[in-house]
Amino acid sequence: MNAVLQSPSETAPPTHIDGPAAWIGPQLQQRSDWIERLDARELEEIDTAVHRLQASGLGLGAISPASFELPTLGPRLKRILGELLHGRGFVLLRGLDLSRYSVEQAAIAYLGVGSWLGSFRSQNARGHLLGHVRDTGADIRQPTTRYYQTNRELEFHTDSCDIVGLLCLKASKSGGESRIVSSVTLYNEMMRRRPDLAAQLFHAFPTDRRGEVPVGADPWFDVPVFNWLDGQLTTIYVGQYIRSAQENFPAARRLTPLEIEALDFLDTLANDPALCLKMEFRPGDMQFLHNHQILHARTDFEDWPEPERRRHLFRLWLAPREGRSLPASFAARYGSLTPGERGGIIVQGTELTFAVNPD
């Protein structure tokens, strides 16, 4: 393959990347192998582990593969982790029966499953290791509001961790559809159509921290969208926060017209129905995504008027010990670059906690 686009690593990326990570949405839409269905034995293992943990008196912080034993499902989850890190990059785990559990028991079940995939990372300045995705009525115009706290569309983006997981507790009245796209496929398409714009995405882009600023850091961080290291393309991207950094921080580097065009083209490709994959969330569905090779989005949604019926998802940010090497530029956002110990949001005063019930 011809090498182009000189990057900070010892070699330049290829003009085209092959492999299972370079998937096309409509092709996968015709298949179901990305949906992993829990069987009766595995569900019983989860049930037993939930009740054993509750009976032990251990807190949620003690949840790990050792305390949440899954003799059959555990090895399957390790295989799924391999698919996340080295294959397609995503999975939908279906079949958890939430009618059997209280909210706390559902949290234990989800944390138990997630612990087999990686360590828990803080998802906000308050140190939430178990996050809640729901409409809180927050005003997105406020500089500290993040889009997952609203019913607004989430544009295609990555989260600040290796793996992000969602458990659907309650679905919306309408909308809120999950969409994902392969960032490897986006790179391939940009290289095929506009390699000059693909080259721009190897530049470092100022990205708004949304008020969650570590001690001594700027209110934004600088990182390239596309990164090539150890023969792998790693992507980190939140277009909405790149734009807000331009609006809110005059000291942040100003983007060039060509860089802005590159970001717009990336968004256009990500939203192309010929490339992205749509999936419906049912209560009990667990979605896990590898952020370094998957961008995810959500459509606007209309919620139920009754508070007890409103859309609600648990979220996990996970760091597997088996994670890939990351470029040095990720340290501005991820802190440590050590697999299993990186990612998440820590600021002065952050106290790690498991918030079972949303504020």
The domain defined by 25-354 carries CATH number 3.20.20.70: no
Element (H, E) at 79: helix 73-86
CB 181 within 8 A of CB 293: no
pTM of the model: 0.91
Q: What is the average per-residue pLDDT within 65-89?
A: 98
Task: Quote the percentage of the chain above a pLDDT of 90.
Answer: 81
Calculate the alpha carbon distances from 124 to 162, 270, 312, 352, 353 in Å: 15, 26, 17, 10, 11
Asked if pLDDT for residue 137 goes beyond 60, the answer is no
State the CB neighbour count (10 A cutoff) for residue 122: 24
Q: CA 46, 48, 51: angle at the middle one, nearest 5? A: 105
Asked if pLDDT for residue 3 goes beyond 70, the answer is no
Task: Quote the percentage of the chain above a pLDDT of 70.
Answer: 86
Pairing of strands 204-208, 286-290: unpaired
pLDDT of residue 306: 55
Asked if pLDDT for residue 130 goes beyond 60, the answer is yes
CB 240 within 8 A of CB 155: yes
Pairing of strands 119-120, 312-319: antiparallel
CB 80 within 8 A of CB 36: yes
Asked if pLDDT for residue 138 goes beyond 90, the answer is no
Q: What is the average per-residue pLDDT within 332-338?
A: 96
Asked if pLDDT for residue 149 goes beyond 90, the answer is no
Calculate the alpha carbon distances from 252 to 45, 135, 182, 221, 256 in Å: 51, 30, 29, 9, 13
In 3D, which of 214, 226, 225, 222 has the Cα closest to residue 249? 222
Tokens, residue 229? 């290291």
Confidence category of residue 309, pLDDT binned at 50, 70, 90: low
DSSP string over 223-276 = EESEEEETTEEEE--BHHHHHHHHHH-TTSPPPPHHHHHHHHHHHHHHT-TTT-
CB 53 within 8 A of CB 108: yes
> Sheet of 154-157: strands edge to edge?
154-157, 294-298, 178-182, 277-279
Confidence category of residue 145, pLDDT binned at 50, 70, 90: very low
> pLDDT for 174-192, tens place per residue?
456 789 999 999 999 999 9
Asked if pLDDT for residue 91 goes beyond 70, the answer is yes
Confidence category of residue 310, pLDDT binned at 50, 70, 90: low
Spans of all domains in the chain: 25-354
Calculate the alpha carbon distances from 268 to 78, 155, 190, 236 in Å: 35, 11, 11, 17
Q: What is the average per-residue pLDDT within 111-131?
A: 97
Between 125-139, 141-155, 199-213, 342-356, the lowest mean confidence (pLDDT) is in: 141-155
Asked if pLDDT for residue 144 goes beyond 70, the answer is no
> pLDDT for 31-57, tens place per residue?
999 999 999 999 999 999 999 999 999
Asked if pLDDT for residue 153 goes beyond 80, the answer is no
Q: What is the average per-residue pLDDT within 306-319?
A: 80
Asked if pLDDT for residue 305 goes beyond 70, the answer is no
CA distance 15 to 189: 10
Asked if pLDDT for residue 323 goes beyond 80, the answer is yes
CA distance 146 to 244: 12
CA distance 180 to 171: 18
CA distance 116 to 114: 5
pLDDT of residue 227: 98
pLDDT of residue 359: 63
Q: What is the average per-residue pLDDT within 12-40?
A: 96
Q: Is 290 helix (H, G, I), strand (E, B) or coil?
A: strand
Calculate the alpha carbon distances from 62 to 54, 56, 108, 113, 356 in Å: 11, 10, 10, 13, 15
In 3D, which of 118, 92, 115 has the Cα closest to residue 34? 92
CA distance 280 to 178: 6
Provide the sign of the torsion angle of the four alpha carbons 49, 118, 292, 299, taken in this order: positive
pLDDT of residue 26: 97
Q: What is the average per-residue pLDDT within 110-121?
A: 98
Burial class (CB in 10 A: 0-12, 13-18, 19+), 190: buried
HSE, side-chain direction, 13 A CA sphere, residue 24: 8
Q: Which amino acid is at 256?
A: T
pLDDT of residue 23: 98
pLDDT of residue 343: 97
Asked if pLDDT for residue 8 goes beyond 50, the answer is no
In 3D, which of 9, 12, 31, 10 has the Cα closest to residue 20? 31
Q: What is the average per-residue pLDDT within 216-228?
A: 97
Asked if pLDDT for residue 335 goes beyond 80, the answer is yes
> pLDDT for 224-246, tens place per residue?
999 999 999 999 999 999 999 99
